[in-house]
């Protein structure tokens, strides 16, 4: 068990099929809670293909749907203590808008690992998704926090610096309530980790009950920006990045605080009922 450093930097996966249809697009949108109001046109555009309407395009794609590509394309698994591994961060750079359905493939590799001693290990990977012509669609950088795999002898410094949060009151805040069964829906987009569905597994991992996927919380922060500063236009997103600091339990309300500086939106997310910050150093670049 442990982080095989530096060998992991040579580990990769090439040409993984990440193709999808509008079914996966709509399932992801439902998984982050969109469409709760079946008469709300703004969110309905992400969960209904609208074939009887004049809407163009007939279906919109939530930008962070791209995070689901990471479940189809990953470098070889590392011999980690899986019970103690959680998502730490995600950063997606969009090279072009996501189509409603597409034949896409991806190359994935590990690009860094940092030893945090008793706290664990941080492992970073990168996935480049390409369309059928070979052109890049998006680049996804993810970090995992392996809480049981520190002291592996890797570097202790040099991890990517987080985006700074503005030193002023938020310009806007949005409350988004999650459903009690939201993790059970979101897991159908690819992340079947029992930490999000099995109560006994959740307790073994140190949680009172199954927790919401970090990627679901990530998608909810995208939903907050999408519904406000992006004016429901997914094609406005150039980048969406965040670090995860604490879990969300299904059924809780997430408050997303946002700061706008031109086309740069900074954000944090909190569960006020427990007084915890669940997302920090959030960054959206709109264009």
* Active site members: 191, 196
Joined together, the tokens standing for residue 105 give 């493939």
Nearest-angstrom CA–CA distance, 64 and 182: 17
Nearest in space to 256 (alpha carbons), one of 287, 222, 286: 222
Please name the residues in contact with 180: beta carbons below 8 A apart, sequence gap of 6 or more. Answer: 250, 251
Residues 248, 273 contacting (CB under 8 angstroms): no
DSSP string, the chain: ----TTGGGG-EEEEEE--B-HHHHHHHHHHTTTTSSTT-HHHHHHH---TTS--SSSS---GGGGGGHHHH--PPPP---GGGEEEEEEEEEESSPPPSSB--EEEEEEEEEEE-GGG-EEEEEEEEEE-TTS-EEEEEEEEEEETT---SS--SS-PPPPPPPPSS--SEEEEEEPPTTHHHHHGGGS---GGGT-HHHHHHTT-SS----HHHHHHHHHHHHHTTTTTT-GGGEEEEEEEE-S---TTPEEEEEEEEETTEEEEEEEETTTTEEEEEEEEEEE-
């Amino acid at each position: 068990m442990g982080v095989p450093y530096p060998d992991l930097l040579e580990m990769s996966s090439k040409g993984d099929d990440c193709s999808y249809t509008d079914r996966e697009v709509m399932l992801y949108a439902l998984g982050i809670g969109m469409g709760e109001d079946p008469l709300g046109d703004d969110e309905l555009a992400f969960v209904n293909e609208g074939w009887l309407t004049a809407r163009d395009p007939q279906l919109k794609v939530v930008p962070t749907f791209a995070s689901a590509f990471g479940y189809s394309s990953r470098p070889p698994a590392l011999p980690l203590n899986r019970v103690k591994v959680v998502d730490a961060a995600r950063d997606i750079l969009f090279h072009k808008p996501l189509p409603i359905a597409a034949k896409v493939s991806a190359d994935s590799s590990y690009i860094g690992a940092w030893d945090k001693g008793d706290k664990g290990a941080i492992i970073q990977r990168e996935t480049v998704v390409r369309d059928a012509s070979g052109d890049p669609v998006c680049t996804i950088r993810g970090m995992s926090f392996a809480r049981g795999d520190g002291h592996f002898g890797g570097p202790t410094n040099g991890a990517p610096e987080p985006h700074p949060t503005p030193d002023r009151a938020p310009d806007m805040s949005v409350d988004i309530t999650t459903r009690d069964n939201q993790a059970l829906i979101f897991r159908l987009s690819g992340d079947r980790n029992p930490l999000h569905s099995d109560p006994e597994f959740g307790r073994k991992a140190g949680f009172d009950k199954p927790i919401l996927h970090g990627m679901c919380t990530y998608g909810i922060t995208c939903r907050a920006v999408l519904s406000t500063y992006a004016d429901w236009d997914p094609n406005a997103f150039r980048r969406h990045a965040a670090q995860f600091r604490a879990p969300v339990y299904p059924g809780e309300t997430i408050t997303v605080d946002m700061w706008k500086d031109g086309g740069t939106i900074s954000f944090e997310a909190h569960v006020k009922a427990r007084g915890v910050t669940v997302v920090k150093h959030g960054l959206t670049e709109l264009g």
